[in-house]
Structure 1
Amino acid sequence: MSGQQPAGAGSSAVFQPLAADDPTTVAGYRLAARLGAGGMGKVYLSYTPGGRPVAVKVIRPEFGEDAEFRRRFAQEVRSAQRVQGLFTAPVIDADAEGAQPWLVTAYVPGPSLADAVVAHGALPVETVLLLVAGMAEALHVIHGAGLVHRDLKPSNVLLAADGPRVIDFGIAHAADATSLTGSGVTIGTPSFMAPEQAAGSRVTAATDIFALGQVAVYAATGVPAFGEGTSHGVLYRIVHEQPDLSAVPERLSELVGRCLAKDPEARPSVAEVIRLCQEANAATVLRRPEDWLPTAVSADITARTATPGPAQTPPPPATAPSVGYSPTAPAQPPTAPAHAPAPPAHAPTAPAYSPTAPAYPATAPGGPAGAAPTQPAATPPPAPVPATPAYPTPAPGQVPHPAAQAYAHAYAPTQGPAPAAFPMPGPYRAPGAPAPAPARNAGRRALLIGLAAALVFGVGGATTAYVLMKDKGQANAANGNGNGGGNGKTGDAPSQGGSSSAPKVSAKPAPQPADFKNINLTAGYHLTLGEDVVRPQDGEDGNYELSYDTGGYLDAESNGGNLVLLDPGQEGSLETCLAETRFTREVYVNKLSKGRQVCVTTGTGHMGLVTVKGFSPEGSPSTYMTLDVTVWRNAVPSDSGS
């Protein structure tokens, strides 16, 4: 059982702001955003005291009112806390006795399988095999803790950078006990139920294997194995009809076919599921590279990694604090007390702007300092302005005037100048004050410098242009190809398109691909892409264009050569290889799987695309890879100048 339920497909934002009916804290966990909602409740983002993000799931009040649900919920939480698998989200905290039951799990920064398929389509076969194998390992530890998931579906599988995470295990069992299941509330998703589950029969670990097969079909094709439609229609097909596997890739057919057997006894165990994944991968060990997901899905992981922090109390201002108005202060500033002493006559004049003073002039027009400012007769006079703004700024060590203290406390920040987060566009100027005049010498000096630069540029540029035009005219005269059909004399003006001195180059024909199928490249051998027939040759060290090193990696050894390992699902082509810049000199075999592609650039100007078809079987006397190679000769500039 887990508490994380990501935002549904089509959500405009990964982290949704808290709504008016959302709590701000749950048992001391300050909530930062809402991750999503489902049939069981809502899920929020929060943090541990150490700063780790967690998912807080708050159960719906209707379930909390059922005593049997609370009993089973507490039991499932205790069992779930024993689940410590690499492909599950561990339960950290929970409370089944509160006003609303809740539980906390580790936050997984990744989209659900459902969201990924809806947004980006079906996944590559290699990704599906790694997905199913990881889910099988998760079921192994879930079943080992005495739990049956009962609701294994694409929205309960999160795609993290290092593999899938199965969440919400066991929670459907607690919900089955409530009276709500008999009043229209559905627990579980019909499209991913097992036949015995749909018929109300006994649920076992084999029930999760059936759901695992359905999830595999959905990941590989983008549609459920038993179609879509009404719940009754889907459940009928699950119990009485065979799944539609026509769109399932051939390498997955045996795996999903055995998982979707109607008889629970005929379904494979978790260990057999992992073995079937290994066999379909044409290798004895599944290799999980860092980039096991397509690039577009990996980008979704990045978006979910930047988690927002909880709202501060009070929240920081969105704009620079205004000294003329504060929403928490009265519309007019308080007047100075009648008994307040007048400021000393020798005090310095107040500055034109201070963050602790309002936007009033330091002195009233036509009046002494400290007098109330007057307004022009043309405009109606506003409410009286107090004399407080004219109080002088105290000298260091001097106590401010009491009235000025009262005013500053009510209207201005007391921590000093405006914070750096809200920079002012320039020095403040009081209304009606003249703009500061620029320094005389600065303007005159800038003008003289500009004139001198223009004069130097004009003379130098004209001389350079004359020399270039003279040389170009002489060259054209010598070659007899003057611009515009002229006689080639030096004085002829160039045409619009003939100003460049570079010779015209005819368009280079597009390189044509040459395909070489089923090359068995043995460790210790290499390929030369420039040969008429690309075939393995002995040797792994030297000026070779692509070699299979006995250390277990493909190597680009030629001068200026490099390799690029394409992402799973990324379609290789000449355009793709020319655009890629993720260069490396070595690609280790443990990062390769059947179907992966590698772009090869040689120092002699050739481009190649290598597609892995398979590996030597266990027990073979030699170690080799079976490759398809496509070569575009002279497709890139050669470092050697050829």
Structure 2
Amino acid sequence: MSGQQSGGAAGASTVFQPLEGDDPTTVAGYRLAARLGAGGMGKVYLSYTPGGRPVAIKVIRPEFGEDAEFRRRFAQEVRSAQRVQGLFTAPVIDADAEGTRPWLATAYVPGPSLADAVVAHGALPVETVLLLVAGMAEALQVIHGAGLVHRDLKPSNVLLAADGPRVIDFGIAHAADATSLTGSGVTIGTPSFMAPEQAAGRRVTAATDVFALGQVAVYAATGVPAFGEGTSHGVLYRIVHEDPDLGAVPERLTSLVTRCLAKDPEARPSVAEVIRLCQEANAGTVLRRPEDWLPGAVSADITVRAATPAPAAAPEPAPAPAASATAAPGQGQTPTPPPTAPAGAPAGYAPTAPAGPPAGYSPTAPASVTPPPAGPQTGAPSAPTPPPHPGHAYAPTQGPAPAAYPGTGGYPTTPGFPAQHPHAPYPNAPHPQAAGPGGRPPAPRQGTAKRTLLVGLAAALVFGVGGAATVYVLTKDDDKKASASDNGKPGTQTGSGGVTGASSSPSSDGSGESGSAPSAKPSAKADPKPVTYENINLTRGYHLTFGDEVVRPQDGEDDGYDLSYDSGSYLEAESTGGTMVLLDPGQEGTLEVCRAETRFTQKVNVDKLAPGRQMCVTTGTGHMGLVTVKAFSPEGSPSTYMTLDLTVWRNGAV
């Protein structure tokens, strides 16, 4: 497991991106120097160890940190990954699965990813590809030996260093797999480099990584994926059912990639056999990795990434105040010099507590603070006026700075809380100047109570008249609303992608006004906006209702539902007037295609489905949906389900 991703093949300003407002400045004592990239699992930053070695720190997304199962698996994968100490992997050197946001740190590799190198400079020479594949195979040997399966081997997870490739992010997909997020819009794994068993939801083994290794080899040698590009469901369908396109693969690599891309996991070579095949493709000689194993343009990118920026220096503590706030006439004051940082502190390393002022500190006081009375100041200065609420920043506007506190950069140990006024009769009491005699709040002005009573009586009168009118209107329209019908559905439905208004009672002529003359011809209605729900695990015996604000599986299969997974192993359009159309393999489903299709049916057997197939569903309530099959429940699963993507156009049927 690793966490490193590099930026594009360009200058240092592109590789090392500056920290933004939502980026942390430190992670568990590591002071961050730049942002290296971001992915589906989190963001990656550059930092340094206390000894000055650069490291890559991946901070996991908050959504995953909130999932207890992810944290458990993440901790397990980190322990396994720390046993991986191969020459072609980036070792995990530190991690925390229990913190507010889980994170891990790996050795920083100064090189572009294979994906960046191919995009910037094109396909790699055959000799380079052979060394690349052999190095990746050695990395997989060590990873599999630690009891891990990579599960997400792809060009962006292979870094090109001066002395060979580095495989990163091994095991992290397993930590995220089967958490609550995988059924709510988060996809783990990259479709273009998945194995057939992954796409079908079957068991993942070391052979799964060998299939991905063959795909990476094709991409490195040709610049395009083995199963083409396009939509995810289209690529997955080709991976499961079609042969790869190897027409542009050099002849010396054909035998290697053909065996790796076998559909049957048992027919694929082991990683040790992959290394032997690389040697055979190299005329049977021992593979030797020269210093210039990469093309010159790619080697230049390594030089750019080797010049890592240093993190910003920690802010200096505020200077300590003078020995006395006031001096006797004729006597000068000697200010105390500010404290200095301890000698020998490692560059780029900082404790977890910030050394600068607290978050939210402002150099000016809030506008609502009452200034102290003017006049000569004698003796000790008065305490600064506190802000109006404990949550506001503590910001005095006059007088000397507060005394420095050790280890806090010159700020009190409880910043953000106002000091209690010395004359306040009780905690959080109002300032004495704002209180009446004896510390009580000032009495209201005469006449206020009388005016308040008159205003209240007038408001009550207006409300009573308005309320009576409202009741009359609602009662009058009650008979009209009773005649409206939406097949038992609510009149108003709200979806994540838009809101549909309450339906009025349609007349026989479609004008929307019962008993009135036909209105002018309406203008063409705009197509509704699509609302997409990804990775829905629809269990057998459950159904979906497209009009729900959040479409999710609910128990039941025979009660007028829009789409159900029947216990007889078929999908069925249950609602009155509902229909289904199974699109042809490779046919791209859109709103226009679904409206035009007329090959209607009420049910589709599951054995006719495969990952990537799509179905158009028209409901009896006028909604239209596009269902995309992604996977089926794996062997040994306690329940039978299929994973679907659903796009709904509410009121989109014509």
RCO higher in structure (CA 8 A, sep ≥6): 2
Structure showing greater radius of gyration is: 1
